[in-house]
Each structure stands twice: as C-alpha cells, then as structure tokens.
Chain A
C-alpha cells in the first residue's frame, strides 16, 4: 500500500486526500440544507402529521370501543335481569294455570259424578215405580182371573178336554198380561 501511495505521489498528488477539499464542502452543506428544508416541509412534516393523526384516531377508536363495551355489558346485565324476571313471571303464570286447570278438572269430574249418580238414581226410581205399578196390575188381574176361573168352575162341568183348554186359556191370558 505504501508503494501505491508513493507511486501516486510521484505524479504530483496525494493518493488519499485527508484534507477536506473546498469543492466537496460547499455542495455538501448546500445539498444538506436544501434537502432538510424540502423534506421537512413535504415529507417529514406530513408523515409526522399522519402518524400523530393515526395515533389519535386509534386512541379515539379504543376509547369508543371501551365505551361501547361498557354500554353493551350494561345492556346485557339489564337484559339478563329482565329475562330472569320474565322467566319468574312465566313460571308463576304456568303454575297458576296448572292450578286453575287442576281445580277445574276436579270440579268437572265431581259434577259429572254427581250428574251420573242422579241419572242412575232417577233410573232406579223409575224402574221401581214401573215394577210397583206392574205388581199392582198383576195382582188385580190375578184376582179377576181367579174370580172368573172360579165362576167358570162353578158354572159348567168340565171334561178333561175342557180342563186343558181352560188352563191354556188361562195361561195365554196371563202370558198376554205379562207382555204388557
């Protein structure tokens, strides 16, 4: 490397310039200042604004989201309370209805039983009355018949054939009476 430096130096100039050259100094300061002013105005400034605006909007969104969350939780609690109340109410209503239905059922069944008992009672009474009437009629018929039979027995001599005919007649008369 020393050889190289020496070689270049022989041509009348230093190979590595460690002394700032004025031709490098002023363009670098001018370029820097222009670049700084332009970038500050047209690039870094707007980018900063956007970054800050975004930070603000994110913060705002987060705050709004938090608000919404709190509100939602409040509503949920409210709805849960309402739901519980409604459920209680519904239970009560169902209970009441059940009780009402139960009592109604019992009432209906009791009434039906009563009515059935009454109908049976009436029927029984009617049958009894019919029976009594039939008995009374039969008794009177039997008495009449006995009187007639006695009259006949007393009035004519009966041959065995007449006897049989008389019995038949009697029987048929009794049978006909029974048919009524």
Chain B
C-alpha cells in the first residue's frame, strides 16, 4: 500500500496551510504577510458574499422579487434565530450573527467546489473568529451587567444563597469551573468548524484515492474498489454539502446562545 500512503500524504499536504503561489509547499514557517492556500479561498468567499448581498439587497423591496426573496428569507432566518436565543433585544446583533453565518456558509460552500478549499478549513481562520466571538460576547456581558455583576453571574444563584460555609467553599470552585467553561467555548467553536471542514476534504480525498488505486488494479478487486470508492464519494459529498450548512448554522446559533447568556447573565 505504498502508493496509497504516498497519495494520502500528498493529499494531506495539500490540506496543510501553504503559500498560495508555491505548489511544492517547501516553506514550512510561513511569513505572516504571505497569501496562503486557505486565505486565497477566504478572500474569494469574501468577495462572493459581499457581491451577492450587495446585489441581492437591491432587489429587496416592499413587494419582494427574484433573488430578493432568497436573501430576505435568509436574513429573516437569522433574525428569528436571534430573537429565539436572545429575545427582542437580540435583533440588534442580527447583522453580526448574519455576517458570521453567511461568511462561514459561503466559505464552506466554496470548499465544495472540486479543487478548492474552504477558508474555514484552517484552524487559523476559525480560531480567529472563535476568539472574536469570545471577546464580543464577554464584552456584551460586562457592559450589560457591570463588571462585578457579570463575574458574579458565573456563580449560580443557588450557591450565592447558600449559608456562608457552602458559599465560600463551593463558590470559588464553581466560579473556576465556569471560567474554564467560558475559555473552552472559543476552543470548541474553532475546532468544531475547522475539523468538520478539514475532515470533509480529507474523507473525499481518501475515497478519491481509493477509486484511482482501484482503477489501476485489474480484475474484480479493482472494479470493487472503484465502485466502492465512487459510491462512498457520492454519499460523502452529499454529506459534506449538509455539513457545510450545519456547521455554519451551529457556529451562528452557538454565538447567539453565548451572547444571549451574556445579556441575561444577571437573571440566573
């Protein structure tokens, strides 16, 4: 299976963060100003998202028409998501959640095109956004509840109402747990999106390689391998389309849940 390993290694190499203009990928330590293979597709997704919304927004009118309907339904979906998770005051965060959702969705969708990569398939990209979400929701929490008020909300009201002994033994422990939990949020956000998009490409690559290797074999084994590879490729591709949407949705809904939690921190 030397051939398989070599091809897989090449495939994996293709999914590494590499300078865009260096196909061989000989530069390991990247210059921060170089255009990488992921940022190249990130910028394409940026342009596509921007153009799509700027064009579609022109078509949105009191009487909706054409593509205006699509973008309107999309934004209405985001508004509903915001209201569901944050209440009426969440509507003012709809542009933020909407940008996150649609930018991630367009990145994921562009990654579906054979030969391209999803901008979200790089941990550098997803971690940046996850940290941004972390900063945004905590800033909202501090602003809304006051510095002490927000920190106090890390200890559940049940513990705060305990007798002094329970409050001072259990309180710091739960506070610590809660802080750790908050810091885990950006980590899970980043890794979930990155791993899903990255693995989607790898899985397609594996079945693709499987097909090619099968085609190089003669006889029943070759036919079986190629057929299996093809079927799995189609199934996995369909799954990848599904995942592209779901992961954008998960990122957006978790962000809105975090902001909602920060907004209503003093209530629980």
A and B interact: yes
Q: Which of B28, B94, B128 has the most CB of A within 10 A?
A: B128
Q: Cβ of B57 and Cβ of A43 under 8 Å apart?
A: yes
Is A38 an interface position by the 8 A CB rule? yes
Interface residues of chain A, those whose CB is within 8 Å of chain B, are 1, 3-5, 7-8, 12-29, 31-32, 34-36, 38-40, 42-48, 50-51, 53-54, 57
> Which residues of A have CB within 8 Å of B50?
35, 38-39
Q: Which of A25, A45, A51 has the most CB of B within 10 A?
A: A25
**How far apart sit A57 and B64, CA to CA, in the bound complex (Å)?**
14
Contact count A vs B, C-beta below 8 Å:
158
Interface residues of chain B, those whose CB is within 8 Å of chain A, are 5-6, 8-9, 11-13, 15-17, 25, 28, 30-36, 38-39, 42-43, 46, 49-50, 53-54, 56-57, 60-62, 71-72, 75-76, 79, 91, 94-96, 98-100, 102-103, 119, 122-125, 127-129, 132, 198
Q: Shortest Cβ distance from B135 into chain A, in angstroms?
A: 11
> Which residues of B have CB within 8 Å of A40?
95, 99
Q: Which residue of A lies closest to B46 (CB)?
A: A31
> Which residues of A have CB within 8 Å of B124?
17, 20-25, 28
Q: Cβ of A21 and Cβ of B9 under 8 Å apart?
A: no
Q: Shortest Cβ distance from A82 into chain B, in angstroms?
A: 41
**How far apart sit A1 and B4, CA to CA, in the bound complex (Å)?**
10
Q: Which residue of A lies closest to B100 (CB)?
A: A32
21 pairs, CB–CB < 8 Å, chain A vs chain B: A3-B8, A4-B9, A7-B5, A7-B6, A15-B9, A15-B13, A15-B16, A17-B123, A22-B124, A23-B34, A23-B39, A24-B39, A24-B128, A28-B42, A31-B43, A32-B128, A39-B49, A40-B99, A46-B57, A50-B61, A53-B62
